[in-house]
Structure 1
Amino acid sequence: MIQLPSRPAVAAFARFVVCGGGVGLASSGALVLLDGAMPMVVANALITVVSTLLATELHGRVSFRSERGGWRVHLQSALTVAVCYAFTTAALLALHTVRADPSVVAEQAVYLAASALAGVGRFAVLRAVVFADARRAYRVPGLPRTSVAMAA
């Protein structure tokens, strides 16, 4: 039997989308502003670092309403972003392989689509690992209580 996510998980995802989407749209605009000033891969790396610091703080405080913080959380979050960076960069490089001089609209569409896909995976990892609230245990039907945490 498939179990649908709990309402707290849906609410956390909605907050994650608003916070992450806002940072993502700002990042997309910054990428356009930096186009030509530096190589695309360098611009994406710079934007990724700055947006990661901002998004991690927002996700911790707003999306997951967690009390966890500090450099450990930022480092764990950075690992998820490294995967997202590789994914978005690969998508942009693939676009430039297929189309030598893509339009800004095509480049942004690929960047935002890749960012959205990577974001869904990032939400799962941040919720289950980085911002997991160890004080809340959940119960798997048919099994005894477990100490695996789920964030609200």
Structure 2
Amino acid sequence: METAQSQQQSAPGTFTAFARFVLFGGGVGLASSFAVAALASWIYWGLANALITAASTLLATELHARFTFGAGPRATWRQHAQSAGSAAAAYAVTSVAMLVLRQLMAAPGAALEQVVYLSASALAGVARFAVLRVVVFARSRSQVAATVRAARPVHATAARAAASAGPVVLGRAA
């Protein structure tokens, strides 16, 4: 019989979590780019991009909840909504970076566009990691305390209750 503490996944350290964030987020992003291209051969590109973006955000949030941040077996609806918000903010950062580039240069080269886009993506990714770790998948003290309380064996709780009831004298009623 497993305790609640052994069933709950422990939260990994910052470096491990960031490495997993890059692996899972990058893997989903790479797969998404191929999926958008494939789906766009059947339907309008904008619709394909929207559908794949929604699906990939849901998938990445589940992976981050389970493996990146050790938040439990499933992401909650609140976590999905917050993760989608952070993904939208990251999208906005990369879009603004590209708009600013276009305002500064009439015809930037492909290499410069890639440098600007990837730099903005990296910056947004680091910020998104921080938001997911500190806000979305953070464990509050009350959650940790509840897990510890739930993980205590019954005999320890019973012994503590008996000890607080006062001394028991064997052989006579108190």
Unaligned runs of 5+ in 2: 1-11, 146-174
In structure 2, the residue matched to 1:64 is 69
The percent identity for this pair of structures is 57
Match of 1:18 in 2: 23
Point out the structure with the larger helix share.
2
> Which residue of structure 2 aligns with residue 76 of structure 1?
82
TM-score, normalised relative to structure 1: 0.64
Give 1:95's aligned amino acid: L
The whole-number CA distance in structure 1 between the counterparts of 2:95 and 2:61 is: 20
Contact 2:20–2:67, Cα closer than 8 Å, also in 1: yes
Question: In 1, distance between residues paired with 2:100 and 2:52?
Answer: 20
Structure 2: how far apart are the matches of 1:46 and 1:88? 19
Q: Which runs of 5+ in 1 are unaligned?
A: 1-6, 138-152
Deviation readout 1:27-49 (Å, 9 max, x if unpaired): 56678897xx768xx98766644
1:13–1:123 CA contact under 8 A, matched in 2? yes
Q: Which residue of the partner structure matches residue 144 of structure 2?
A: 136
**What is the distance in 2 between the residues matched to 1:100 and 1:30?**
31
Q: TM-score, normalised by structure 2?
A: 0.57
- 2:163 corresponds to: none
